[in-house]
Structure 1
């Protein structure tokens, strides 16, 4: 698709990125006129892109010089991407080993404000196929990962639970807030969480927390399978394997003292 035939929205997005890249290359505050000249686009259009980027928090303007500069928002986004990449790299070997030990599907998930995002899956060959895919967002109340997030993550995560009705995925899904609070408190005390038949009938998951260098919760590792293989009260051997994997990944990420 050429620049001339691209839809206006795509052209605007393209130019907005060009503004960011040019400002990054210049490396110092710059005025609208100078930036427009460097980009080779009209001053009015350059101003419009800067105004939008300022509204979004990617650009700031000095009130005395009226010059613009990039904020640290892009740095934080880049850092988040780097952290996720490191997490995936460090977790993969432990996930494969955990799948080998348990013969169950293993997932790695990160914590977001409105749920738990599946980052990676190592699937097991089983008659019960776990249909969750990387990129899926699991709700806090109905997943083992979500319960771990509520137990060890920021208290602000509870807001996503309280802001909307809890989805009834199966006849067994708990949608009572007081019951969920008690289950999360129990998960915090024992260091892991399960979610038997909360999302799928006949399926359970067992999740443990992964901590970063500052002992902050950054992810969860989970085994999922039929209730026959991942019962509501997991056997000691299964618990030991999951907790060992969580500790190993946490240590690789710089957590010298696992909090659980």
Structure 2
């Protein structure tokens, strides 16, 4: 779903960023023709953009296959962001402990635009585990990690999300807004959210929010695994585990006035 904008975008820049998004989310390199087909641009325009990205080392070009992929320069930028994230440094030991206790994958997500973005994860020791990547974006109204954040967004932020992302003027858009409002109320009341197969097939998750200084929303922590490993009794046992983990992280980040369920 496209986000409505008050000012028109710079089309050439938007097309160039679409190419980076495409290759960043792809598990394989692509040739220029395929890229042009996927992003909807002219082949000549795509060639010019690709050449510029290669010259500036944002993309690598494999002469033998005539395919493009992200350059390691992107990784350097990502590493810089990762290392400077105080919240990750504080959350990671708690996440490792959660993964050891539950034997499931643990995610740390932060809000970005109208999405929750995975910025850290600790893998499950199970042979069959949740397959996700750091950098994955999920809309606020889908999945436990994002819904836990959506519930505690500032009111103006949540309204913008509903008005500019969910409500497209159709009956379905209005229904999505109504559902988001109900989810927000429920999660704010109980302090956590449980979802089944909302992002990936056969995957369940339970998540709770993380707060920081002045009790601002920082993100959320989620425990995720195959839905067969999340029967009601197990989910119930995870509630105090996830909420207390998020409480611990929040206090270390400077939060004071936490939800009652965290007390």
Task: Give the TM bin, normalised by the shorter chain.
Answer: 0.5 to 0.7
Deviations, residues 142-196 of structure 1 (Å, cap 9, x unaligned): 1112211221112213423443459xxxxxxxx7332332122111100011221
**What is the aligned length?**
180
Task: Name the residue aligned to 1:53.
Answer: none
Gaps of 5+ in 1: 1-6, 13-80, 167-174
Contact 1:118–1:134 (Cα < 8 Å) also in 2: yes
Q: What is the CA distance between 1:8 and its match in structure 2?
A: 8.0
C-alpha distance in 1 between matches for 2:233 and 2:162: 25
Indicate the RMSD between aligned Cα atoms, in angstroms: 2.9
**Structure 1 residues 126, 83: closer, same or farther in 2, change over 3 A?**
closer
Structure 1 residues 209-248: aligned runs within 5 Å? 209-231=209-231, 235-248=235-248
Q: TM-score scaled to structure 1, two decimals?
A: 0.61
Contact 2:104–2:224 (Cα < 8 Å) also in 1: yes
Task: Name the residue aligned to 2:104.
Answer: 104
Contact 1:206–1:222 (Cα < 8 Å) also in 2: yes
Q: Does 1:195 align with 2:222?
A: no
C-alpha distance in 2 between matches for 1:187 and 1:84: 30
**Structure 1 residues 103, 159: closer, same or farther in 2, change over 3 A?**
same
Deviations, residues 127-149 of structure 1 (Å, cap 9, x unaligned): 54322211111111111122112
**Structure 1 residues 164, 93: closer, same or farther in 2, change over 3 A?**
same
* Greater share of residues in helix: 2
C-alpha distance in 2 between matches for 1:232 and 1:83: 37
SS of equivalent to 2:239: helix
Task: Name the residue aligned to 2:33.
Answer: none
Q: TM-score scaled to structure 2, two decimals?
A: 0.60
Task: Name the residue aligned to 2:146.
Answer: 146
C-alpha distance in 2 between matches for 1:106 and 1:223: 5
SS of equivalent to 2:185: helix
Task: Name the residue aligned to 1:249.
Answer: 249
Q: Is the radius of gyration larger for structure 1 or structure 2?
A: 1
Q: What is the CA distance between 1:229 and its match in structure 2?
A: 2.1
